[in-house]
Amino acid sequence: MRSVGVEEELLLVDAESGTPLAVSGAVLAAADRVAWQQADGGAGAGEKPHEFEAELQKEQLEFATKPVTHMGELQDEIIRIRGEATRHAEKAGAAVAAVATSPLPVRPSLNAGKRYQWLGEQFGLTAQEQLTCGTHVHVSVDSDEEGVAVLDRIRPWLAVLTAISANSPFWQGEDSGYGSYRSRVWNRWPSAGPVDVFGSADHYHEQVRAMIGTGVLRDEGMIYFDARLSSSYPTVEVRVADVCLHATTPVLLAALVRGLVETASRAWRAGEPPARVGTSLLRLASWRAGRSGLDGPLLHPETMRETSAAHAVEALYQHVREALRDHGDDERVRRAIAHLHEQGNGARVQRRLLSSEGSLAQVVIECARMTNEG
């Protein structure tokens, strides 16, 4: 069974006002202290000290789960690490909120370090304003050739994942009108978004080398395709999702992405060619998903014609259903999809909170509570 790992980016906020706080250094220092104490007690020797890392802005904290094969274990990991993030943030006078953009106005603070400073100088406001929190799903593949075959075949389905995960309706104190405004801000990067069919691993790597060779991008880490081969792990990495408010949603995403990878690999091995959907159409599907979330129309992944969000999600489910059954994920996915349609994704929850609580500050505070509760 293919292993799955998830990376999440969390927003660091003031627990009383909801305002983003530039305290990632202090939070990581708190995590370091706990790791050292555990090491002195004989725990964790020779392992990575903890799961947390800095991100582009000081108002962010990133973590990565270990690779697992069972979705129940993945959910436990996400809940555990979110809880640890909350405890470390409290020591820095902050809280963590699984929201993909800050509902309240913010002027982000670039982290120190040559790479981040280079990004600030190269991309100006694009980098300075880029305070967005996403979810990245890694699924194991046997080779780069299989990985690229998967990338070529999952292209039309990725926008539906953006809609499912949409959790960023507010931007700089205003309702953006989008379910996932993070996806629009993220796509300001010149290497972000949908890409053409590659056809082979050689062509993929040739394209990556050519892009870095322009000098516009610093390194392979700036290949921000919607889905890419990981430069660090033998995985396909899908990067289209917002960070999700409830811990069950990234598990749903992980199950669906693993289903997409397995379904695409089987099609490749059977000699079935990828759908030749133009990248321009995929960009429209991506925009539509960011605009609507689950509260408006989407483009159907197979026809690229407008359909309801429910029909688009159902099409994705039916596309990967055989793989879900083989992985033992079918019942979990069906329950999670039904819950999403009933209760809504993060964007709907945030707007509902604003209506009931009356202020964006209370929206952030309540989202931080939900993040901590798992």
92: which DSSP letter?
A: T
Q: What is the pLDDT of residues 196-249, one digit of tens each?
A: 999 999 999 999 999 999 999 999 999 999 999 998 899 999 999 999 999 999
SS3 state of residue 235: strand
- State residue 38's pLDDT score: 78
What is the pLDDT confidence band of residue 41, given thresholds at 50, 70 and 90? low
Judge contact between 131 and 102, C-beta under 8 A. Answer: yes
Instruction: Give the span between the Cα atoms of 187 and 183, in whole angstroms.
Output: 6
**pLDDT surpasses 90 at 263:** yes
Instruction: Give the span between the Cα atoms of 369 and 8, in whole angstroms.
Output: 17
Q: Report CA-CA distances (Å) from 19 to 49, 104, 106, 361.
A: 29, 6, 8, 7
- Nearest CA-CA partner of 183 in 283, 73, 91, 277: 283
Q: Domain tally for the chain? A: 1
Backbone angles phi, psi at 218, to 5 degrees: -75, -40
What is the pLDDT confidence band of residue 37, given thresholds at 50, 70 and 90? confident
Instruction: Give the span between the Cα atoms of 94 and 24, in whole angstroms.
Output: 10
Other CB atoms closer than 10 Å to residue 197's CB: what's the count? Answer: 17
Q: Indicate left, alpha or beta for 124 from its phi (over 0: left) and psi (-120 to 50: alpha).
A: left
- State residue 46's pLDDT score: 47
Which residues lie across from 9 on neighbouring strands? 62
Q: What is the CATH number of the domain that holds 341?
A: 3.30.590.20
Q: What is the mean pLDDT of residues 284-294?
A: 98
Q: What range does the domain containing 232 cover?
A: 4-373
- State residue 40's pLDDT score: 66
Judge contact between 290 and 192, C-beta under 8 A. Answer: no
359: which DSSP letter?
A: S
Q: What is the pLDDT of residues 75-133, one digit of tens each?
A: 999 999 999 999 999 999 999 999 999 999 999 999 998 999 999 999 999 999 999 99
Q: Indicate left, alpha or beta for 162 from its phi (over 0: left) and psi (-120 to 50: alpha).
A: alpha
- State residue 219's pLDDT score: 94
Average pLDDT, rounded, for the chain: 95
**pLDDT surpasses 50 at 45:** no
Could you please report the per-residue DSSP string of 140-158?
E-S-HHHHHHHHHHHGGGH
pTM equals: 0.96
